[in-house]
Structure 1
């Protein structure tokens, strides 16, 4: 048989051969990666049994710690202790003393604070957000940024390329014409680097004159903030920080910005010193990041450690709940040992598949004695962990596999009673609009719903 006849003979099967061949290569790569067993099994099933679907999905969304994309990223830790001991390194992040905070418990507080800080900025404004919405709130914020840019204030806006996809709008062009700079974090079209679509910058921070910072869970859009109260607005939490913690937050922005602009020759700028805030009760804050640009999974490890060390109580507030096996088991053990463990989630989130995937986890926790509260007054998007009334966390990270192991995330841990008390009161207010989780008997579920939940949990490690 000559070559042409051989090619004709195998041509109908060539795609199948190539698909399974590539599947073998990807499976070998998958087994070398340090993934959770559930995630490895989920990807193995999809790649092996449905190669035409699993192979391209893994190439696009399978990346986690891709060293070639992040090895040139500047260090995120400025943990060198200074002369006064204001800044020091912890096992997971950077601790700073002498800060002042202002909580933003509602979308009205958040919007007014953001606009006020933009208008008051004299030298620079740096904003990172996952979503900048195509709505009145997004336009209003960009217009305010344009005004400050025309006034000579340096404006840098860093948008996630997927979360803020397609932001080539007239008002964005207005910001660019006014002198503002707009960059997109890790674009996915064209697919210059396989796996990058899975690595999203979920961090949210806005820095003003490198002296004041807003962080939290809010994106920029009408769902998250606005000038007047709206019953449809999502419940969320953010805060303003002044003091030495701003230095570490500035370092995070500079590293992300330089990475997004690396092809333009951008380098990370030096971080200006920020003195301790004078007056009032000083706050101690531990700033922590997680993502492909960190060694290990420090945010997950910190949350796990404080839960396992809890002596009295654990409260978790999250819009999406898909834990890994260790975190799930830790919560169950705490509840069975007599500790108060409380989980607050929305009755229905904006991601139905995630809601289906969480139900088995919730039943296990409920049977172990965890109090599960379903927020029934709209969507709840806040992220909080409270332990023993001694430590509180808030930031951009959800308690799900994507936030804890894949996304670029940012969180602040508070050790001062002022912030712990304010966050506790915010949680207590949410609890007034909740109902208990009662869906504890899996055998009483309709057949189709049980199948949907089983399939959702199977793909939960991929969500």
Structure 2
């Protein structure tokens, strides 16, 4: 038997042995990583029992905390010094006093505020977004950025490579020709992004002259904002901040930008001091980030901490709800101990698999006494946590496994009654278009739906 015939004869067996060998190596690596037990078990099952599917999926999407990313990327959870001493570190993030805020409760508010700030910028504009849609809103925003770039304003636009995939269009080239800079965060390239394709930059912020910044849950597209009211527009929340908190948000952008441009030799720029707001009702803001470039899971730990310390009430608003075991149990314990616990989610989101996966969690919460409310007036994309009328959180992070443990995220916690009251009013308005979740006995459901829910919950740790 010649060599070629021998290789052909043993190839089926060799491929099997190599597949299981690689699976064994990946399982050993998986066991060393700090993951939630449910996620570890889910990956173990997929890799071991279906190696041809599990091995490539893990190589592409399995990354969560990559030490090399942490080493190459500047630390984000830092307190930058300023003259007034209004900035300090907390156990989870960075707290600053003396800020001015302006809530953007509707897409019209958000669009007009964004365009106003772009046109008013005199020195610089920095924008990070997960999605920049190729629609009338996206094109209008890019045209406004191009005008400011031609006027001599430095414009930098950082897009997530997956969320804004395929954005090399003519109007984007117009921005580049005008002098604006466009970078993509962590492109998904064959063999160069193994283990990283799962790690997406979900942060949203727009900084103007390094003095004012817009943050929240809105991407740039007609689903999120526009010049006139649209009944099809998603409900969301964003806000403008002016004051010392802008320093932390600028540091976040600079670290992300320097990381995206690291192969071009660009380094992180120094952060300019921002004075304290001197008007009435100054706000206290805690800026927090989470993601593969942070140690631990500070955003998750902060949310869990304030929920467990709640004395009267907890309200959560999120478009997608896939909690881990500890967060789910914490909400159930609070409800059973007599505290008011509300969860507001859309009746149907834009991710059907996530909707199926959440149903068992909703049943458990409802049985424990949690008031589960379904928003039935379209899509609701806002992210809010309210505790005891003393703390309010909003930002880019959903209450799901991806936002809490995988994505690059950004959130702001407010401790002043002005912001807490405004966010509470926004939530109360949403509640007027909700109806209670009704628990359907699993035995009364169609068999196929029950199977789909069971499978969806099984893969929930991988979503």
Indicate whether the TM-score tops 0.5.
yes
Q: Which runs of 5+ in 1 are unaligned?
A: none
Task: Give deviations 1:137-194, integer Å, cap 9, x for gaps.
Answer: 0000000000000000000000000000000100000000000000000000233131
Q: CA contact under 8 A between 2:187 and 2:193: conserved in structure 1?
A: no
Partner of 2:351: 351
Deviation of residue 15 (structure 1)? 2.4
- Deviation track 1:296-345 (CA, whole Å, cap 9, x = no partner) reads 00000000000000000000000000000000000000000000000000
How far did residue 244 of structure 1 move? 0.1
- TM-score w.r.t. the length of structure 1 is 0.99
**CA positional deviation for 1:278:** 1.2
Q: Is the 2:70–2:294 Cα contact (8 Å) retained in structure 1?
A: no
Deviation at 1:2, TM superposition (A): 7.1
Q: Which residue of structure 2 lines up, in the alignment, with residue 443 of structure 1?
A: 443
With 66-75 and 368-377 compared, the bigger mean Cα shift is at 66-75
Please give the per-residue CA displacement for 1:410-462, whole angstroms capped at 9, x wherever unaligned: 00000000000000000000000001000242221111000000000000000
- Displacement after TM superposition at 1:16 (Å): 2.0
Deviation of the 1:14 alpha carbon: 2.7
Paired with 2:279 and 2:393, the residues of 1 have a C-alpha distance of 24
Q: Which moved more, 1:402-411 or 1:44-53?
A: 44-53
C-alpha displacement of 1:378: 0.1
State whether residues 63 and 199 of structure 1, in contact with CA within 8 Å, keep that contact through their aligned partners in structure 2: yes
Mapped contact 1:366–1:440 kept (Cα < 8 A): no
State whether residues 204 and 217 of structure 1, in contact with CA within 8 Å, keep that contact through their aligned partners in structure 2: yes
**Distance (Å, rounded) in 2 between the aligned partners of 1:397 and 1:31:** 27
- 2:133 and 2:319 map into 1 onto residues whose CA distance is 19
- Alignment of structure 1 residues 51-450 onto 2, 5 Å: 51-80=51-80, 82=82, 84-450=84-450
Distance 1:80 1:244, change over 3 A: closer
CA positional deviation for 1:74: 1.1
- 8 Å CA contact 1:348, 1:379 repeated in 2: yes
**Aligned-CA RMSD value:** 1.1
Secondary structure in 2 aligned to 1:440? coil
- Aligned 8 A contact 2:80 2:247 in 1: no
**DSSP 3-state at the match of 2:72:** coil
Aligned residue pair count: 463
Q: Is the CA contact 1:80–1:89 (under 8 Å) kept in the aligned structure 2? A: no
TM-score, with structure 2 as normaliser: 0.99
Cα distance, 1:152–1:301 mapped onto 2, change above 3 Å: same
Q: CA deviation at 1:85?
A: 2.6
CA distance in 1, matches of 2:227, 2:306: 37
Q: Identify which range, 65-74 or 318-327, moves more after superposition.
A: 65-74
CA contact (8 A) 1:341 1:370 kept: yes
Q: Is the 8 A contact 1:46 1:53 kept in 2?
A: yes
CA contact (8 A) 1:367 1:440 kept: no
Given that 2:290 and 2:404 are in contact with CA atoms closer than 8 Å, whether structure 1 keeps it comes out as: yes
Deviation at 1:13, TM superposition (A): 2.7
